[in-house]
């Protein structure tokens, strides 16, 4: 089982801007989970309404695959540098 | 008859692909089979060990312009590519037709509807063999590879 990303490191360096951020994504997931639980009756109702048209199954698969994409982001690293600017994004 | 062969013939029977495309797919299947018969363990090991797709743009040390070249270093997990491609298989039929139309306009004869989850796995497996190495006249060394 793959877990969602826990940290995101963003670093931007330019002529006027220079900052680095460690975003603690692991603090966000409990909040997202709580929101999902609260919204789950609405989601279920929407799926049931869409089911006869064949879109209910599709929307469930979209939800599942979106979560997979999110979990698969661990290890993503983008590092772009030019002479005066630099952008670095890393998902841990 | 193998499963993949049967699928290709089914697609041909359903007129999802042309005779030429079916021929090309069958040839590719045959080539893949002969390759896997050569070194099945080595092939399997290589495919499972591929974890990241790397794209790097670095200055060519031999070039005079190497100081002015931008540096790019991108590492994309293979699992993200796999998940993303599976997500594209959920494109609604109406949108797929639009995508096909746009591809046709660009001169690309490709039917998005014919892409199945099994094909995606095959495509990602084949990425393990990908290696692009380009040195431009501007002094850039572009590399795309899997590690």
* Residue at A38 is within a domain: yes
Instruction: Quote the tokens at residue A21.
Output: 């951020």
| pLDDT of the residue at A30 | 93
pLDDT-derived band at B66, boundaries 50, 70, 90: low
Domain that holds residue A17: 7-91
* Residue at A46 is within a domain: yes
* Residue at A31 is within a domain: yes
* Residue at A2 is within a domain: no
pTM assigned to the model: 0.68
* Residue at A50 is within a domain: yes
Instruction: Given the cut 0.85, state whether the ipTM is greater than it.
Output: no
HEC assignment per residue over A28-43: HHHHHHHHHHHHHHHH
* Residue at A13 is within a domain: yes
B70 and A CB contact within 8 Å: yes
* Residue at A1 is within a domain: no
pLDDT in tens, B84-127: 888 877 787 788 888 888 989 988 888 877 777 777 778 788 88
3-state secondary structure of B129: coil
Candidates B71, B75, B82; nearest CB to A76: B75
Write out residues in chain A with pLDDT < 50, as ranges: none
Q: Which uninterrupted H or E stretch holds A9?
A: strand A7-13
Please report residues of B whose CB lies closer than 8 A to that of A71. 83
* Residue at A30 is within a domain: yes
Number of independent structural domains in chain A: 1
Q: Which residues pair with B54 in a beta bridge?
A: B75, B145
């Amino acid at each position: 089982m793959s877990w969602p990303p826990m940290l995101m490191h963003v670093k931007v360096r330019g002529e006027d801007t220079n900052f680095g951020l460690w975003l603690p994504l692991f603090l966000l997931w409990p909040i997202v989970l709580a929101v999902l639980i609260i919204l789950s009756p609405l989601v279920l109702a929407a799926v049931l309404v869409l089911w006869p048209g064949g879109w209910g199954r599709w929307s469930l698969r979209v939800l599942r695959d979106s979560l997979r994409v999110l979990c698969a982001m661990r290890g993503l690293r983008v590092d772009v540098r030019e002479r005066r600017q630099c952008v670095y994004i890393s998902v841990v | 008859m193998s499963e993949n062969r049967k699928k290709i013939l089914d697609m041909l029977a359903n007129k999802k692909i042309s005779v030429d495309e079916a021929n090309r797919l069958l040839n590719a299947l045959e080539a893949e089979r002969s390759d896997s018969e050569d070194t099945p363990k080595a092939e399997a090991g290589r495919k499972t060990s591929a974890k990241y797709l790397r794209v790097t743009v670095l200055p060519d040390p031999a070039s005079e312009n190497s100081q002015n070249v931008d540096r790019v270093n991108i590492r994309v997990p293979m699992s993200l590519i796999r998940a993303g491609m599976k997500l594209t298989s959920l494109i609604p039929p109406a949108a797929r037709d639009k995508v096909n139309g746009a591809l046709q306009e660009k001169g690309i004869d490709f039917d998005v509807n014919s892409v199945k989850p099994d094909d995606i796995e095959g495509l990602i497996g084949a990425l393990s063999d990908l290696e692009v190495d380009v040195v431009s006249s501007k002094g850039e060394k572009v590399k795309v590879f899997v590690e």
